[in-house]
Structure 1
Amino acid sequence: MAADPARIAQAWTLLAELGVTLADLQHDAQPARPTFDAYLPQVLAAAGPGALRTYRSYWQRMATTWAGWAIDTVTASDIQALRQQITDHAHVRRNSRDGRHAGELFVAAARAFYNRAIADGLIQATDSPAHRVGKPRRLPSTRRALTADELTEINLAARTSGNDTILDALLLRLHTETACRRGGALGLRLQDLDATRGLVLLREKGGTVRWQPITLDLAAGLTQHAAVRGAVQPADALLRYLNGKALTSRRYDHLWHRIGQHLPWVTAHGISTHWLRHTTLTWVERHFGYGIARAYAGHTDTTGPATTTYIKADLQAVAAALAAMTGQSHPLAQPGDRRPGGNQPDGRHAARPES
């Protein structure tokens, strides 16, 4: 049955007199949205380990600040105001940038929160207030490649201080040879070590998994370390404390704090494990080119110029770069593999680990 135009006109007139719009009627017909504190457990349960590690504190701050508020009642101005509070009160570290990084992470966390609400059908994508707040522009990193002398000093300080110099020496060498992140090292299991072929299986951010070449000397050291400290089952953690417990990220914090006590310039520049990754990849890129450096780093993203689709390197090329960098042969490196131009490493480059 067709609607009566006269009655429709009367209805619109009545709505206008009442000051009610069609959007008001549609909004009222929708179920009530959950509050921030009520919805937070659902967001946490759906988040991956990386997101939890990065965003959890910001999500909790949102739930505390806006406890009892429905998620669709917060405005872009509310998010901007909380971002400013977080920026102003960010913890001051050696490499602080006046809270810019904290502000950037908060906006990213708010967007991730609302992305979950959008995926759950609680709000429309166009209604997200977090996506109407801009993130601070990221400033260039002050991180650089370490020099050969700096790397030597760091290794020496680690091996002559502390309560577990063997573990610390293995950590520094592992990160220098593989350019892996802390998460990749902490995730290593006994079954991830192929000592015969000189490989470790790294699982890092973004769910990436790759075999990474290491020297046979390091492979032997890791094998002995695991055996002495109680790694028996294939799924047992490879890196362990003296008491046999699996290594945690706290060891890295203590390691760099101790090195900084012996080498004040380490503390002054805010040097961390990631500087080793930067150092190794810089050396590989300078001597073997972008494609092999990209494979060495485990980068699998497709962002950037279209030519990155065709710039690829295989495991043998990465092994050849490792062999040139360390001066030790590798089972997977082809005998004819050399650096461009045929030059061999000079023995004083920044990435070579101490033996």
Structure 2
Amino acid sequence: MLSEWTAVRRWLVADVEATGGAGGGDRPDPEAVLVALQVVKQMNLTPEDLLTAVVARRIPTFAEFVPKAVEAMPAGSRRTYRPYVNKLMALWGPLRLDEVDVDEVRRFLAHARETAQVRRSGVGGDGAVRHAHRTLSWLYRYAVEHELISVRQNVMRLIRTPGKGHSRRYALPPQLVSDILAAARSTGFDPVLDALLLRFHLETAARTGGAVALRVRDLDPDQLLVRLREKNTQRWQPVSPTLMEHLLHHARDRGARDDEDKVLRRADGTPLTSGHYQWLWARVGKYVESVRVAGISTHWLRHTTLTWVERNFGYAVARTYAGHSMPKSNLHGVTQVYVKASIDEVATALQALTRERHPLALTSAPSGTEDGSSPLPEPDRANGGLTGRSPLSEWLQEPASETGLVERIRRLYEEADKAGKPRPGRASLTKATGATVYRVRKAQVEINGFPKPD
């Protein structure tokens, strides 16, 4: 009887708080509790039945809970988890949060694997299972933090976190890197952009998100640094004079003028998107068999560069070069907390990688490794260098030469012809080149003998 009294007492207190009845300092009368117990017994009920009814009345369904929880997610997590939230809502929408058991979760993870989008770099849905698990973990953790369920009702505490399988990626040999660069430079509608992208990723070991998010304000020509914004983190990454020069010319030639404008752009002046990488590697795979067979993607370039950096400059420099955060555990010993690399050391590694001097490097000479086995081919040096340039914002506003504008428009015409699309009109050319309407019209006359009507 004592355990029943305790259970009912808890239920009465919870119900009073929920309905706003008695004040927080009032306590239920023990005699009234005993009377309630007798009534409960006459109705063939137990205190547990009453507790279950009260809890069930409070716990929301997934259809009620998930939309509000998704609004609280960070923007990056929301984009990643959205496909799995949609699948969850389709399967569990009417269920309460406490009605899902371990078997239901395992079936959902299996469903995520079976319905995973097939990608060139896929590994049988392992990534989909991890993302689905993270989605559920985030939602249940949010529910516990907001006291919608108790810690014991969090079913995800009983589900083992899916392990990350062994990566299929490896460092690419220099000859294969050269073949990839050659295929990118000599095929497609925009080989200039594709060659620049590959060089950017090989030098910086950046993820695709870092390239897509790159803005004019993220370029520091004086210190030869670019700011990479990836996975909710930011870091300044050293780059070679050649890469910085090409980034600046690319941004200006394709219409980037303001600080917030994206640097990397398509031939028509629109900003680069992540979808461009799918087209790039699918095309390169038609000319380089290893790319098609192994499913090589941009992340393989990251593996290539970081492997080289680690072999030649050590783990600490490679970790900083990659932009990896400090580990949260001491799995590899306490020493790793003290082993940190500076941006100067990263610049020194880049200097050896590219064989070009960097102002932040600890050594003045761009000496390579003993065997000279840099994964990068000899760079195409940019003309003019970076010395004596006006401030970046002013330089971007400077007009390009008339000869360069004519060649730019001619290339846009050729790309449109190859794609079977109409040639861009004057308004589109003005936007893509950043030139005035008068200069575009003048260039059209030189190319066609007459201006192309809009």
TM-score by length of 1: 0.90
Q: Determine which of 271, 281, 291 is the counterpart of 1:256.
A: 281
2:12 corresponds in structure 1 to none
Please state if 1:124 is matched with 2:138.
Answer: no
8 Å contact kept, 2:62–2:93: yes
The answer to which of 167-176 and 17-26 deviates more is 17-26
**Corresponding letter in the other structure for 2:221:** A
Q: 2:236 aligned to 211, 214, 217, which one?
A: 211
Moved more, 77-86 or 11-20: 11-20
Against the structure 1 CA distance between its residues 159 and 52, is the aligned structure 2 distance closer, same or farther, given a 3 Å change threshold? same
- The one-letter code sitting in structure 2 at the alignment partner of 1:25 is L
Confirm or deny that 1:108 pairs with 2:131. no
- CA drift of 1:159 comes to 0.4
**Match for residue 148 of structure 1 among 164, 168, 174:** 174
Distance 1:151 1:32, change over 3 A: same
Q: Is the 8 A contact 1:203 1:209 kept in 2?
A: yes
The CA deviation string for residues 291-318 of structure 1, in whole angstroms up to 9 with x for no partner, is 1111111112333432221111111111
2:316 counterpart (267, 282, 291): 291
Q: Is the 8 A contact 1:90 1:102 kept in 2?
A: yes
Q: Which runs of 5+ in 1 are unaligned?
A: none
Q: 2:359 aligns with which of 331, 336, 340?
A: 331
Q: Distance in 1 between matches of 2:322 and 2:297?
A: 17
Alignment-mate amino acid for residue 344 of structure 2: Q
Counterpart of 1:197 (choices 219, 223, 233) is 223
1:307 equivalent among 326, 331, 335: 335
Q: Quick check: 1:68 aligned with 2:94?
A: yes
Q: Secondary structure at the match of 2:256?
A: coil
What's the CA shift for 1:11?
4.1
Shift, 1:128, TM fit: 1.6
| Conserved 8 A contact 1:229-1:243 | yes
Q: Do structure 1's residue 245 and structure 2's residue 273 form an aligned pair?
A: no
**Aligned pairs, number:** 351
TM-superposed deviation, 1:188:
0.9
2:53 is paired with a residue whose SS is helix
Q: 1:266 to 1:4 in 2, by over 3 A?
A: closer
1:137, CA displacement in angstroms?
3.0
Q: Deviations over 1:182-211 (max 9, x none)?
A: 111111110110112211011111x22111
Deviates more, 1:292-301 or 1:278-287: 292-301
Q: Following TM superposition, by how much is the alpha carbon of 1:122 offset from its aligned partner in structure 2, in angstroms?
A: 1.3
Asked if the contact 1:35/1:69 (under 8 Å) is kept, the reply is yes
Question: Which residue in 2 is equivalent to 1:274?
Answer: 299
CA contact (8 A) 1:33 1:71 kept: yes
1:53 paired residue number = 79
Taking a change above 3 Å as real, the CA distance of residues 63 and 302 of structure 1, as seen in their structure-2 partners, is: same
Distance 2:222 2:366 in 1: 23
The equivalent residue for 1:316 is 344
**Identical residues among aligned pairs (%):** 38
Are residues 261 and 233 of structure 1, via their aligned partners in 2, closer, same or farther at CA, if it must alter by over 3 Å? same
The structure, 1 or 2, with the larger RCO (C-alpha pairs under 8 Å, 6+ apart) is 1
| Pair 97,274 (structure 1): closer, same or farther in 2 beyond 3 Å | closer
1: distance between equivalents of 2:44 and 2:314? 67
- What is the CA RMSD across the aligned residues, in angstroms? 2.4
Shift of 1:334: 2.5
Distance 2:212 2:27 in 1: 69
**Mapped partners of 2:31, 2:335: distance in 1:** 64
Equivalent residue number for residue 203 of structure 2: 177
Q: Which runs of 5+ in 2 are unaligned?
A: 1-25, 381-454
Aligned to 2:402: none
Does the Cα contact within 8 Å between 1:145 and 1:350 map onto a contact in 2?
no
Question: Which has the higher Rg, Structure 1 or Structure 2?
Answer: 2
- Give the Cα–Cα distance (whole angstroms) in 2 for the partners of residues 320 and 283 of structure 1: 13
Provide the rounded CA distance (Å) in 1 between the counterparts of 2:190 and 2:362.
37
Using the TM superposition, give the Cα deviation of residue 91 of structure 1 relative to its aligned residue in structure 2, in angstroms: 4.0
* Greater displacement, 285-294 / 78-87: 78-87
TM-score by length of 2: 0.71
- What SS does the corresponding residue of 1:72 show, helix, strand or coil? helix
1:226 aligns with 2:251: yes
